[in-house]
Amino acid sequence: MVKTMSKSHYIIPVFVPDLGCPHQCVFCNQKMITGQVSCPTQEEVQLTITDYLGTIPRETGIFKEVAFYGGSFTSVDPLLQKELLTPAYKALKSGAIEGIRVSTRPDSISEETLALLASYGVSIVELGVQSMDDEVLCRSGRGHTSRDVLRAAALIKSWGIDLGFQMMIGLPGDTEEKDIFTASELISMKPDLVRIYPCLVLKNTRLADLHKNGDYIPLNLEQAVVCCKRLLLMFENAGINVIRIGLQPSEQINLQGDVLAGPYHPAFRELVETAAARDQVELLLKKAGVKSAKLIEIAVPEQDISITRGHKGSNIEYFSRNHGVTDFVTVTAPELPRGTLKLISVDGREYGFTVSRKELSC
């Protein structure tokens, strides 16, 4: 299935599990995450692109991108990199797609690798950073340090290639403070996009053994949501696009019980955004000096209605439980920018001020 980043941005994913990865991170089972066991051939990449393009609407203003996910793309033999990139590059040259991105490790970035990627039209490199704390990196078996991240990020930027970061919370030795530190370090490198993943215990990983022996305790869902909410606000306040929070549900993960432990939820991002919207409504009530009320009316941009009411109505339940609210009314307000809520009235008393997500403290 083609992934949509937005209605006008389509991703054609090509998964390259274990490709050239020189390490074995404690949490990783690439085959399970990508749902694929072998590296695609050049013909298969070509076929994937052709098939996916056939399903994308033929309208103007649509951005189509081939994304090489998984593994460690720039660690593999340059000849194989070229082979895999060739069909994507041809599609780029012909105007069938508008961009190509790859994911890789920070210590697999050099002038030579970037020269190769640039010559094949790669416009985004996503670095699997995971943490900027060297102890966490070491205990997670990453095989690189925070210095590698700083060096790789600077090199990628010097080539004029867009920079993406992937970070992970709840790794061995990690704390929320370390996650906040990691986010501040990432922000200081001015990336173009970020992905945040809570660490999960997957089958057939070293983390599964550590967990079994009681040497690793994963975050619970609530801890992960609270931490990711803080990180999301930090990145948003710095003007950085967080394009994903939480592992994508795949059939392997949902159906085969491959997540042994950890904060997995198929709608994880919605839980995080629900928590942020709840804080916003709390702030609206605080500003209005309201501790309890029966009826509250809030104006909400259309796209934020569901997170304001909460995943499965969880915010409605929360305000009923904590503030006695029996009527939690959300009114669609197309004039409001996303992330802004306006208090209309409380028990018939009119207000009219707003709280934006930017006003929440991280």
User: Where in 52-91 is the site for ligand SF4 (CB under 6 A)?
Assistant: 71-72
Buried (b) or exposed (e) across 311-321, using 16+ Cβ within 10 A? beebbbebbee
Least Cα distance to 139 among 104, 186, 174, 180 occurs for 174
Number of neighbours of residue 111 by Cβ within 10 angstroms:
10
Minimum distance between the CB of residue 297 and ligand SF4, rounded to whole angstroms?
Answer: 47
Minimum distance between the CB of residue 105 and ligand SF4, rounded to whole angstroms?
Answer: 5
Minimum distance between the CB of residue 172 and ligand SF4, rounded to whole angstroms?
Answer: 14
User: Where in 88-127 is the site for ligand SF4 (CB under 6 A)?
Assistant: 105
Strands 193-198 and 162-169 come out as parallel
From 22-30, 84-92, 175-183, 324-332, give the range in contact with ligand SF4 by CB under 6 A.
22-30
User: Where in 23-52 is the site for ligand SF4 (CB under 6 A)?
Assistant: 23-25, 28, 30
Minimum distance between the CB of residue 199 and ligand SF4, rounded to whole angstroms?
Answer: 11
Q: Residue 202 and residue 276: Cα distance in Å, rounded? A: 28
Per CB under 6 A, the list member of 12, 21, 125, 299 interacting with ligand SF4 is 21
Nearer to ligand SF4, 199 or 293 (CB): 199
**Chain-centre distance of CA 207, in angstroms?**
21
228's CB contacts (< 8 A; 6+ apart) are: 169, 196, 198, 245, 246, 268, 272
Minimum distance between the CB of residue 71 and ligand SF4, rounded to whole angstroms?
Answer: 5
Size of the site for ligand SF4 (CB under 6 A): 10
Q: Residue 323 and residue 37: Cα distance in Å, rounded? A: 51
Interface with ligand SF4 by CB under 6 A: which residues? Answer: 21, 23-25, 28, 30, 71-72, 105, 128
